[in-house]
Amino acid sequence: MQVFQFLSNTKEGTAMHSSLIGMVEKAHRYSEEKERVSFGQIKATIRGENDTHEVGFNNGEWHCTCEHFTTGKVCSHTMAMERILTGMVPEKAPAHVASALR
Ligand SMILES: [Zn+2]
């Protein structure tokens, strides 16, 4: 990487270089250990087959702008987000639905 080559040209640069390598190694490890992450708030859009919906997670609760969520408090969009973020947000789908998602 260009930044690493630049940093290696001085003594201070070499220290920064090894510090950066340490950060990159930790970043790799942390990103593999998803249980380290917990989301407090999420705001996203998800493209459904018919429309794009706004999906949110706030104070432990999911929300979605679609009709299914408005009437049933559960929808494919929030379920998809739960699946994507498995282990990083509390599971809210009913148990029989949650087990089917896995
Ligand atoms: Zn929805």
Strand pairing report for 52-58 and 61-64:
antiparallel
Q: Which residues of the chain have pLDDT under 50?
A: none
Amino acid at 60: G
Q: Are residues 45 and 69 in the same domain?
A: yes
Give me ligand 1 centre to Cα 97, in Å. Answer: 15
Q: Can you give the pLDDT at residue 59?
A: 84
Q: What pTM was computed for the model?
A: 0.67
Count: domains in the chain: 2
Q: Can you give the pLDDT at residue 71?
A: 92
Give me ligand 1 centre to Cα 33, in Å. Answer: 28
**10 Å Cβ neighbour count for 82?**
21
- Please identify which residue in the block is written with the tokens 């949650």: 98
Give me ligand 1 centre to Cα 17, in Å. Answer: 46
- Please identify which residue in the block is written with the tokens 């708030």: 41
Q: Can you give the pLDDT at residue 7?
A: 58
Q: Are residues 19 and 65 in the same domain?
A: no
Q: Are residues 59 and 13 in the same domain?
A: no
Q: The domain containing residue 80 runs over which residues?
A: 41-101
